[in-house]
Amino acid sequence: MTNHFLDIHKTDPQALRQMIDQARTMKTARAGRPKGAPDDEQPLKDRIVALIFEKPSTRTRVSFDVGVRQMGGETLVLSGSEMQLGHGETIADTARVLSRYVDLIMIRTFEEQTLLEMAEYATVPVINGLTNRTHPCQIMADVLTFEEHRGPIAGRKVVWCGDGNNVCASWLHAAGEFGFDLTFTGPPTLDPEDEFVGLARSKGATITIERDPDKAVEGADLVIADTWVSMHDSQSSRERRHNQLRPYQVNEALMAKAKPDALFMHCLPAHRDDEVTSAVMDGPHSVIFDEAENRLHAQKAVLRWCLGV
C-alpha cells in the first residue's frame, strides 16, 4: 500500500506520533551543525522528489527542498504554469507519468480534487503541501513546536482566532487525532466547515464555537492566528474581511487573558498589526520562528514515513 500523506485525519494516529517523535530526534541530531550540512543518515539517497507548486510558496518550497537534500535526495521543482496541470494533460495522466520518473510527489495546489486525483493515480507517495481546504504539514510542525516548549499536547486547550480557513481545518483534524480541545473564535460568516467540526467531535475532541474572543482564550494553552486575506482576494473582499475580523486581532490584552505560559503561533507570512500585533509576534508568548523552522524537521519525518525509510 502506498503511504500518501493527504490529511491529518486520514493518517493513523500511531503514524502521526511516530513522525512527531522522529522529527524531534532528527532535529536534535542536527544541533550545532551548519545549516546546509547533510544529515549523518542519508535515508533519501538516490531518491528524487517532485515538488509541484500551483500556489507561490516560501516556507513550503524551501523546507521541502532543503529537507530532501539534507537526507541525501534530489528535488525537481515544478510550477503549475510549467506543467499546465489539468489543462494540457489530465491530472491522472500527469500522476501516471511522474510516477515513472520520481519516488515521491509533493503538491501545493488550489483545489482539493487535484490532490486527491493525483494520489488516486500516482503509484508513488503523494504529500499534501497545501490545498484551499487543508494544510496538514503545517500542523505537524505546530504540534512538534508546542510539545518542544510545553510537553504533550493531549488534553490542552487550543484557541483559533479569526477565519476558519484551511489551516484551521487541519487543526480540527489534529484535535481528533492528538486528543486536545479546540475553541474557534471568529465571525459566523467565517466559521470552519461543519464537516471538520463534526469529525473532530466524533473522535472525542471538545470543539467550542465562542464569538467573544476574551472568553474564548480563557485558560488557553495555545492561541493561533492566520492572515485575514489571501493574495488572490479583491480589494473589496479584503476590506469586508478586515471589518469582520478586526475584533479578533490577537494583541497583548487578549494574550493576557490566556494562561500565563500560553504560546502564540502563526504559520506566516503575517500581516503585522492586522491579525496580530507586532508586540505579540515579537513578545514572550511567540514561538513563530521555531514553528517556521520546524516545518523542515516535521516534513523530513513525513517524507521518511511516506517512503518507509
pTM to 2 decimal places: 0.96
How much is the pLDDT for 237?
75
* Percent of the chain residues past pLDDT 70, beyond the cut: 98
How much is the pLDDT for 80?
76
CB 76 within 8 A of CB 305: no
Tell which residue, 173, 136, 126, has the closest CA to residue 3.
126
First to last CA, the chain: 15
Please write the tens of the pLDDT for every residue from 22-59.
Answer: 999 999 999 988 888 999 999 999 999 999 999 889 99
3-state secondary structure 240-299: HHHHHHHHHCECHHHHCCCCCCCEEEECCCCCECCCECHHHHCCCCECHHHHHHHHHHHH
For residue 213, say if its preceding peptide bond is cis, omega within 30 degrees of 0: no
Residue 83: pLDDT band (50, 70, 90) is confident
Catalytic residues: 108, 135, 138, 226, 267, 295
Look at residue 231 and tell me whether its pLDDT is greater than 60: no
Instruction: Look up residue 47 and give its three cell numbers.
Output: 531518491
How much is the pLDDT for 194?
98
Specify the 3-state DSSP secondary structure of 16.
Answer: helix
What whole-number distance in Å separates Cα of residue 278 and Cα of residue 282? Answer: 6
What whole-number distance in Å separates Cα of residue 92 and Cα of residue 174? Answer: 29
Average pLDDT, the chain: 95
Task: Cite the DSSP H helix spans in 151-234.
Answer: 166-178, 194-202, 213-216
Residue 86: pLDDT band (50, 70, 90) is low
Q: Are strands 104-108 and 181-185 parallel, antiparallel or unpaired?
A: unpaired
Look at residue 266 and tell me whether its pLDDT is greater than 80: yes
What whole-number distance in Å separates Cα of residue 274 and Cα of residue 251? Answer: 10
66-76 burial, b at 16+ Cβ within 10 Å, e below that, comes to bbbbbbebebe
